[in-house]
């Protein structure tokens, strides 16, 4: 416990299996002498198997017996996109990230055998620049830190501890399902390799640790070079990026994506996408598509754009005392001193639409006006156009009708467009 960073709350990821239960018992033993630890547990129920309810019930009983607060989060996982295993992992880490407060620490029970399996799994999958990089013993997670204190121990050691302590745990039935890639490696491939190379698990784990260190250095290089390429809006300069060598470009782009919390695309896709983004003619709109996002180019800059919900294709009435969901964001109305909440209409841009940016001024094409404001094409499609009694009063947070602006300057109402992504 002395090696942990200073923390606000201490969380334990509890599945109910051997590894996490042993970790829970160890932390609980320390907490008995240090009541100020503030230990909590989190159990994620993926609802993917008949035994999921039994495992959740076991975790509830265990935490109740130990006097540890438990948060149970149920998620729904589909096979779309990265497959069931990958999607379950993403859902699990999304839950962890959402629970982490400023300075919180999450303990996970991964061990040396997990590290070896991770290295082999990533080699078989061809995981790009990370290669056989394993799991770091510590990394940032949301507003807190993820720590893996059991990484120097084998599963056999944890089993011996569990039996010596007399602890109970639940074996996940899916762990024996060799149709799942990791289980196939664990039960079929690694035992066969051990017959030929008895120390293969230790060797793989050591290789994974060394690659983690190398990857950290590449991440540091990417951060240093990105400082000269990225602007205050999180965009990358195409010209500055193109001045780097191709390996440096790929490394920088990979770490830029990792910083966004997404997985870089496979190496061949990254290579081709990078070539398109840096060399395509100025009138083209190249993009690099990833899982849940795209990297787009506009006027000499690269933008990371998350896949987003599209706003409705029809006009909607807005009862302004409530927020209005709009795509991945929302519209908020802040009333003036009179606390009046009008009913407004919100819609998307219409083909060939025109408006008067200045009172009494000439009518302008909305399309050309947005181009002059340097609004990327993918942003133009989702802009909310707000009307009051058939009069356009706002275009997102870019423009507001003059008389509405005057009311704002006198402390009147205003419309705020909160966007959850760029």
Q: What is the pLDDT of residues 4-53, one digit of tens each?
A: 666 678 999 999 999 999 999 999 988 777 766 779 999 999 988 888 99
**Residue count of the chain:** 422
* Among 43, 60, 149, residue whose Cα is nearest residue 105: 149
- Residue spans in the chain of domains classed CATH 1.20.59.20: 230-306
Task: Indicate the pLDDT class of residue 215, thresholds 50, 70 and 90.
Answer: confident
pLDDT at residue 404 tops 60? no
- Is 410's pLDDT higher than 50? no
Lowest model confidence (mean pLDDT) among 72-81, 110-119, 120-129, 340-349: 120-129
Q: In this structure, how many other beta carbons lie within 10 angstroms of the beta carbon of residue 107? A: 24
When pLDDT is cut at 50, 70 and 90, the band that residue 408 belongs to is: very low
Are the beta carbons of 55 and 16 closer than 8 angstroms? Answer: yes
Q: Which of 237-246, 285-294, 394-403 has the lowest mean pLDDT?
A: 394-403
- The boundaries of every CATH 3.40.50.620 domain in the chain are 9-196
80 pLDDT band, cuts 50/70/90, is: low
Q: Which residues are annotated as a binding site for ATP?
A: 15-20
pLDDT digits (tens, 9 = 90+) for 240-286: 999 999 999 999 999 998 888 788 888 889 999 999 999 998 888 89
With cut-offs at 50, 70 and 90, classify the pLDDT of residue 422.
very low
Choice between 113 and 82, residue whose per-residue pLDDT is larger:
113
**pLDDT per residue as tens digits for the range 356-386:** 988 888 999 999 999 999 889 888 888 999 9
Q: From CA 312, how far away is CA 53, in angstroms rounded?
A: 38
| Per-residue model confidence (pLDDT) at position 400 | 83
**pLDDT tens, position by position, 107-132:** 999 999 999 988 888 888 766 545 55
**Angle (nearest 5°) at CA 95 between 90 and 98:** 120
- Which of the following CATH numbers is that of domain 9-196: 3.40.50.620, 1.10.645.10, 2.60.40.420, 1.10.1060.10? 3.40.50.620
| Token output for 346 | 């919100």
Residue-wise pLDDT tens digits, 186-214: 999 999 999 999 999 999 988 888 888 88
Mean per-residue pLDDT, 55-61? 95
Token pair listed for 85:
């295993």
- Tell me the CA end-to-end span of the chain in Å, nearest whole number: 39
Of 212-216, 347-351, 391-395, 417-421, the one with minimum mean pLDDT is 417-421
Higher pLDDT residue, 271 or 180? 271
Domain 230-306 listed as CATH 3.40.50.300:
no
Dist CA 44 CA 71 (whole Å) = 8
CA distance linking residue 38 with residue 26, whole number of Å: 14
* Rounded CA separation 119/135 (Å): 9
| Binding residue ranges | 15-20
- Which residues lie below 8 Å from residue 358, measured CB to CB, with a gap of 6+? 402
Statement: residue 406 has pLDDT above 80: no
In whole angstroms, how far apart are CA 413 and each of 124, 322, 338, 343? 58, 14, 9, 13
Q: For 120-165, what is each residue's pLDDT tens digit?
A: 888 887 665 455 557 888 888 888 999 999 999 999 999 999 999 9
Please report where in the chains the tokens 């927020």 appear, as a residue: 323
Question: What is the rounded CA–CA span in Å between residue 366 and residue 380?
Answer: 10
């Amino acid at each position: 416990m002395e090696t942990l960073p200073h923390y606000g709350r201490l969380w334990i990821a509890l599945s109910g299996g051997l590894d996490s239960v042993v970790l829970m018992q160890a932390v609980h033993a320390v907490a008995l002498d240090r009541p100020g630890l503030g230990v909590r547990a989190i159990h994620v129920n993926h609802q993917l198997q008949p035994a999921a309810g039994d495992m959740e019930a076991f975790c509830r009983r265990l935490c109740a017996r130990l006097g540890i607060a438990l948060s149970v989060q149920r998620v729904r996982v589909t096979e779309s996109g990265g497959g069931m295993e990958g999607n379950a992992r993403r859902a699990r880490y999304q839950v962890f990230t959402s629970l982490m407060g400023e300075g919180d620490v999450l303990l996970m029970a991964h061990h040396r055998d997990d590290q070896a399996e991770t290295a082999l799994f990533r080699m078989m999958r061809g995981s790009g620049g990370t290669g056989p990089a394993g799991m770091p013993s510590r990394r940032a997670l949301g507003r807190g830190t993820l720590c893996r204190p059991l990484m120097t121990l084998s599963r056999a050691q944890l089993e011996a501890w569990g039996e010596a302590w007399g602890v109970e745990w639940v074996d996940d039935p899916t762990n024996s399902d060799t149709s799942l890639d990791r289980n196939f490696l664990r039960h079929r491939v690694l035992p066969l390799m051990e017959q030929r190379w008895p120390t293969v698990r230790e060797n793989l784990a050591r290789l994974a640790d060394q690659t983690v260190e190398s990857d950290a250095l590449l991440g540091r290089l990417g951060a240093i070079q990105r400082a000269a390429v990225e602007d205050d809006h999180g965009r990358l300069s195409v010209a500055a990026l193109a001045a780097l060598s191709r390996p440096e470009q790929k490394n920088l782009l990979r770490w830029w994506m990792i910083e966004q919390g997404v997985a870089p695309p496979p190496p061949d896709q990254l290579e081709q996408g990078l070539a398109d983004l840096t060399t395509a003619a100025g009138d083209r709109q190249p993009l690099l598509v990833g899982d849940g996002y795209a990297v787009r180019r506009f006027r000499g800059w690269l933008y990371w754009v998350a896949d987003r919900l599209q706003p409705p294709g029809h006009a909607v009435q807005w009862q302004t005392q409530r927020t209005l969901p709009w795509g991945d964001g929302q519209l908020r109305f802040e009333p003036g001193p009179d606390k009046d909440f009008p009913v407004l209409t919100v819609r998307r841009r219409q083909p060939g639409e025109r408006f008067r940016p200045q009172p009494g001024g000439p009518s302008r094409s909305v399309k050309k006006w947005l181009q002059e404001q340097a609004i990327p094409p993918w942003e133009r499609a989702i802009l909310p156009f707000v009307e009051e009694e058939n009069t356009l009063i706002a275009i997102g947070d870019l423009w507001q009708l003059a008389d509405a602006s005057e009311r704002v300057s006198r402390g009147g109402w205003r419309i705020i467009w909160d966007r959850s992504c760029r």
